[in-house]
A and B are shown apart, each in its own frame.
Chain A
């Protein structure tokens, strides 16, 4: 498959800190790629390198099969939050950005600005000064800027940051609609539910390294299923589960968990009943994406060094 973004050994060092440490990104064209990682893991620096804002210390990268400067007119980006001139209106700010684009057609600028604003639901506030915008409106204007022209690749850094639940849903459905049109979306996020909902592929960053990359379905399939037994007799349940050969048994107040392994769930239930354990509930579950994320990065949402 053609890669929308490909990098080899991409490294960015700030002083003695390896902000990005030899990552090999492979973002398939047409995918929605979730770029995950705790704060400070190098996501934004990676995006800055890909956009040509920051120069890589070593390694190489290709956007849409070509160099950054050639690809950028076909790339819409939202980097580290929206940034606009406070005393200009939403429309004036977008016209300013469009004027800076040497490949943009001036005669269609107004129409394109209008439709970009409409697409993010900002038409009513188009004439208002940016400084009067709420956080959510600013975020929408940032997305509108990324949609000024038809794009082949969108790089969105935390696109639903600061949006209310309704706005979050709107932006997510907008991303889904754009992906449906064939636009590749590179979505940096720390909202795992967002990634689960939108993304076909994921890359997980930890301390500057890309610790996992591939189809989301493959990541989910990696996770072993486990059984969860709800019972008032956790000690007995533990004995039975261990006797039928389940590993990783953990008993807690009111329930017991164990890895299912190769065992069949119906055999486990039968063994529990035969063993005289009062089963109040039985379920086969998989680890949540969050648990997998913690397992991969070794941490939750704390800021890493």
Chain B
């Protein structure tokens, strides 16, 4: 990236992170691990260890994992769909796309900058979940040593490192939604339609993943490995399925960004 590209990227990040709708979504996202912590605290049950929700009363760090567990299937894809679906279609619907291209921003360059901003947004969302869970956990529950899902006890620092890996894995998982959204966004001038279509695709993937008769294709679905980060909270870490999940994510990202590039590169901008 040259300095000019960095400047454009900075401007794009400003568009994403200063937008009130997106900030409101981040606030809602941050509330979820907090609400989980309050609910667990208020219920007063001491659930047995060895599960994510059960671990919360043992160690607050599990509040962040519980956040990832409930948010990854639907709300997180929704947040990514909103920003990714808006990326090109939003500029097209406001007419600003024609002025960006007449600057000239460059079609491939614009697409690359938009995708970089989407990836940053994915990372920010995962970071908000992790931080909110971590902080809520520290406030309401013990911190200290924690028992992993496989039963082994590790230090809090070790747990935080594992949480960081989970955060990165979740980011990589939902970047697939971002890539799909970027592609869909090049197909329409209606940002809402792009958002809805992207979210629909992720739901279809999860529905297909829940039908046992479709077992043969499960491994190929983008959402199949999304919760595989639980393996990172075992000892020793089971890397095989996490690795497969990352490969599947990479495959989808390459496929859909290439489609977006092919589509956008030759598209007539008539909006």
Contact bitstring A81-124, B, C-beta under 8 A = 1, else 0: 10111110000000111011111101000000000000000000
Chain A CB within 8 A of B155 CB: no
Q: Main SS of chain A's interface residues?
A: loop
Q: Which of A52-60, A185-193, A261-269, A286-294 contacts B (4 or more CB under 8 A)?
A: A52-60
The residues in B between 70 and 112 inclusive whose CB is less than 8 angstroms from any CB of A are 94-96, 98-106, 109-110
Q: Give the CA-CA distance A103 to B104 in the complex, in Å.
A: 9
A81 with B103: CB separation less than 8 A: no
Q: Give the CA-CA distance A103 to B95 in the complex, in Å.
A: 22
> Which one, B15, B103, B266, contacts A72 given CB within 8 A?
B103
Q: Which of B3-11, B57-65, B129-137, B143-151 contacts A (4 or more CB under 8 A)?
A: B3-11
B94 with A86: CB separation less than 8 A: yes
Contacts of A52 in B (CB 8 A): 101-102, 104
Q: Give the CA-CA distance A73 to B197 in the complex, in Å.
A: 36
A79 with B102: CB separation less than 8 A: yes
Output the nearest chain B residue to A96 by Cβ-Cβ distance: B11
Contacts of A104 in B (CB 8 A): 4
B96 with A54: CB separation less than 8 A: no
Q: Give the CA-CA distance A79 to B100 in the complex, in Å.
A: 12
Contact bitstring B1-31, A, C-beta under 8 A = 1, else 0: 0111101101100010001100000000000
> Which one, B19, B95, B101, B106, contacts A102 given CB within 8 A?
B106
Output the nearest chain B residue to A44 by Cβ-Cβ distance: B270
B99 with A102: CB separation less than 8 A: no
Count of residues in A whose CB is under 8 Å from the partner chain: 31
**Known contacts A51-B102, A55-B266; is-contact A85 B96 (Cβ 8 Å):** yes
Q: Give the CA-CA distance A68 to B15 in the complex, in Å.
A: 28
Q: Give the CA-CA distance A75 to B94 in the complex, in Å.
A: 22
> Which one, A83, A100, A106, A145, contacts B3 given CB within 8 A?
A106
Contacts of A102 in B (CB 8 A): 2, 4-5, 8, 105-106, 109
B94 with A100: CB separation less than 8 A: no
Chain A CB within 8 A of B247 CB: no
Q: Give the CA-CA distance A283 to B141 in the complex, in Å.
A: 99
> Which one, A53, A85, A87, A95, contacts B102 given CB within 8 A?
A53
Output the nearest chain A residue to B101 by Cβ-Cβ distance: A53
Contacts of B254 in A (CB 8 A): none
Contacts of B269 in A (CB 8 A): 48, 53-54
B11 with A95: CB separation less than 8 A: yes
Q: How close is B178's CB to chain A, nearest CB, in angstroms? A: 21
Q: Give the CA-CA distance A226 to B110 in the complex, in Å.
A: 58
Chain B CB within 8 A of A77 CB: yes
**Known contacts A83-B99, A102-B4; is-contact A96 B15 (Cβ 8 Å):** yes
Chain B CB within 8 A of A166 CB: no
Chain B CB within 8 A of A69 CB: yes
Assuming A77-B102, A101-B105, A106-B3, what are 4 further A-B pairs, CB within 8 angstroms? A52-B102, A79-B98, A83-B98, A85-B94
Interchain residue pairs A-B with the least CB separation, the first 10: A83-B95, A99-B11, A102-B4, A100-B105, A53-B269, A72-B104, A54-B268, A77-B102, A101-B103, A100-B103
Selected A-B contacts with CB under 8 Å, 7 pairs = A53-B269, A72-B102, A72-B103, A83-B95, A83-B99, A100-B105, A103-B4
